[in-house]
Amino acid sequence: MEGLSVKKIRHLEEAAKKIGLNERLLIENASSNLAAIIDNLKLGKSVCVVAGRGNNGADTLACARKLAAKNYEVYAVVLKEKDFNAEVKFQKELLDKIKIPVYVIDPANVEEFKKYLKASDFILDGILGIGTKGELSTFLKKIIRDINKSGKKIISCDIPSGLSPDSGVILGEAVKADYTITFIAPKKGFLLNDGPKLCGKIYVADIGVSVEALKRVKGREV
């Protein structure tokens, strides 16, 4: 298994956008493949989807909608320490419109989070993606500790939250996943330092176009 750096992953994402796959299309494609793999894992029929404020959170909220369409009971939790980005807002609004409850957890009501973990058969972690840098906040560390202590099977979307994608070190606290469903290619950090013990079984999902095709678009940059 070859791990790619964040820089190389970003080059491939740029190639996808260059051929006309914009951010929203990439999220829809990625989340469809994420949902299909999750369904095949047969971990139960109720899931706590834990979304952060960035595109990793948008991926998992889109996945929540698609799992609901497969008759999963979905507890969609969005962590609000800072404002959501545009894609998270869009995905949250879609869930609101189709009457799938979205529970907003912030530092003031963080203790409520445990009841959604307890109610679920398994957890989908979409808190942080490959843009993670530096030490995690106290709030996110507590959320991750609660996830790890839940006793439930954990799936991480793209990367276990709190793991450095390039170095494989823990940024204060990190999700210990049973499965990591990563997009485009494994990340370099999966193979280094703490990475191997945090990722669990790794699956690679595409974003609607093959890596080989994206490499042809970018040429020598990857």
SS percent in the chain: helix, strand, coil, step 5: 45, 20, 35
pLDDT above 70 (res 144): yes
pLDDT above 60 (res 167): yes
Report which residue type is found at 27: I
Which residues, listed in sequence order, are joined to residue 138 by a DSSP beta bridge? Answer: none
All domains in the chain, ordered by first residue: 6-221 (3.40.50.10260)
Predicted confidence at residue 208, as pLDDT, reads 86
219 CB burial (10 A radius; 0-12, 13-18, 19+): exposed
Q: What is the pLDDT of residues 13-35, one digit of tens each?
A: 889 888 898 999 999 999 999 99
Which residues, listed in sequence order, are joined to residue 50 by a DSSP beta bridge? Answer: 77, 125
pLDDT above 70 (res 76): yes
Contact in structure between 34 and 181 (CB atoms under 8 Å): yes
* 29 token code pair: 């494609």
- State pTM to two decimals: 0.94
Q: What is the pLDDT of residues 92-138, one digit of tens each?
A: 999 999 999 999 999 999 999 999 999 999 999 999 999 988 999 99
Phi, then psi, of 220 in degrees rounded to 5: -75, -10
What residues contact residue 30 under an 8 Å CB cut-off, 6+ apart? 59, 62, 183, 205, 207, 208
**pLDDT band at residue 219, thresholds of 50, 70 and 90?**
low
pLDDT above 90 (res 218): no
Phi, then psi, of 205 in degrees rounded to 5: -115, 145
| Helices 55-69/86-97 angle, 10° precision | 20
Provide the 3-class DSSP secondary structure of residue 197.
helix
